[in-house]
Structure formats: structure tokens, C-alpha cells
Amino acid sequence: MIYELTKLSGPLLELPTISAAAVDWMAGADAGQVLGYWHSEIGELGLVLILRSFASHDELAAERQRYNQSAHPFKDKGLIRSVRQESYQAFDFLPAVEPRALGGLYEFRTYWLKPGGLPPTLAAWQAALEPAKAYTEHLVINMIALDGPPRITHIWGFDSIQQRFDLRAAHYAAGLWPPRGAPEQIERATSLIALAGEHSRLS
């Protein structure tokens, strides 16, 4: 499955307006399904994040072309300050993203990988998923970037920051997380906490 993570920046108090207009614009596309949208809360502020799935690279390319040729993409009424569109392919051993309720608080983690770091990262994650199931059941998806520098982005859903801290602490103490051999492949990493939009299908 192919995914697109769109990041729209704008005034802090206008993020709900921006996300509603952008999701409405995306709903008019011939291809692509909006899976969820969020407003950043901790990390880089002033962001709307929107996750979409596409059945093929061709569908994604057609939607990018629609964006490029639109005089008023996302129906933003001039509120959007910048647009970042990132293309990804899911780890092939993970299920497709399905709408579900995970508590409303989401973490977006991106790891920039060292050269040659992807194969051992994939092997480590595949081996760790089932033993760490109490934690990894909160995983929405992990994806390999199709453009830009080599990196992966994984999305997690929780009831609260405390739930996240507690789960990670317990799995670290038990030696179940992080996946063995994966942290050594990371060149740098970022984490962003975001809250699900009011009508997000991932909530």
C-alpha cells in the first residue's frame, strides 16, 4: 500500500479550519482515501497532518498532478503557509491502515537511516512486533519514504502521554523494545505529538 503524509502549516488558531478545508478538497479526488488528520501539539507547532492511502504509484502521481495544477489547492483561503507532501510505502509485513479509535493522542516518529540501514531495520521490526504486542498494538503503520533522504516514519496512537510513557518503560525494562539492532541504524530522529481531528477516522 502507498501512503501520503501531507503536512500543512498555518496560524495556530486556524488549524481546524485548514484541516476541514483540506480534507474536503481531498474528498473530491478520483483516487486516494483520507485515513486520518491531526493537529500538532508537542514538537513542531502549527501543523495539520493528513494521512492518505493510494492503491498504486500511478494514483498518487495523478493526485500530485491535480495539486500542482490547482490554483487553490486545499481550499485554504490563504491560511496555509507551507505544504509538505511525503510519499511512503508500508512495511510489507504490516497490515493496511484501518480506521479505528486509539485514544486521540498520536505520535509521529521519523528516523533518518544510515546508508544500508533499511534491511536490518526491517528485520529487527519484524522480529520484535509479536513479542512486544502490548505496545505494538498501538502502532498504526510504519512506512519507508519513497522520496527525499532514506528514512522511515511510524505512527502510534494512545489514550495519553502517560500511557505511552508507561508502555515504553515496561517494554524497555523487559528487553522487548526497541527492536534489537534497529537503533544502531538511525542517523537522527524526530518525534511529534498530535491530536486527532474531530471527525478523523483514526481517532
pLDDT at 151 exceeding the cut of 90: yes
- What's the CA gap between 10 and 80, in Å, rounded? 5
- φ, ψ dihedrals at 64, nearest 5°: -65, -40
- What's the CA gap between 167 and 175, in Å, rounded? 12
Could you state, in order of their start, the residue ranges of all structural domains in the chain?
2-196
- The domain 2-196 is placed in CATH, from the list 3.30.830.10, 3.30.390.30, 1.10.3720.10, 3.30.70.100, at 3.30.70.100
Q: Which residue has the cell 500530485?
A: 64
| Average pLDDT of the chain, as a whole number | 97
Q: What does the pLDDT look like over 63-101, one tens digit per residue?
A: 999 999 999 899 988 999 999 999 999 999 999 999 999
pLDDT of the residue at 162: 98
Q: What number is the average pLDDT over the span 160-181?
A: 98
pLDDT of the residue at 77: 86
Percentage, residues of the chain above pLDDT 70: 100
- φ, ψ dihedrals at 168, nearest 5°: -65, -45
Q: Of the candidates 182, 190, 188, 92, which has an alpha carbon nearest to the alpha carbon of residue 132? A: 182
Cβ within 8 Å of residue 130, ≥6 positions away: 136
pLDDT of the residue at 76: 83
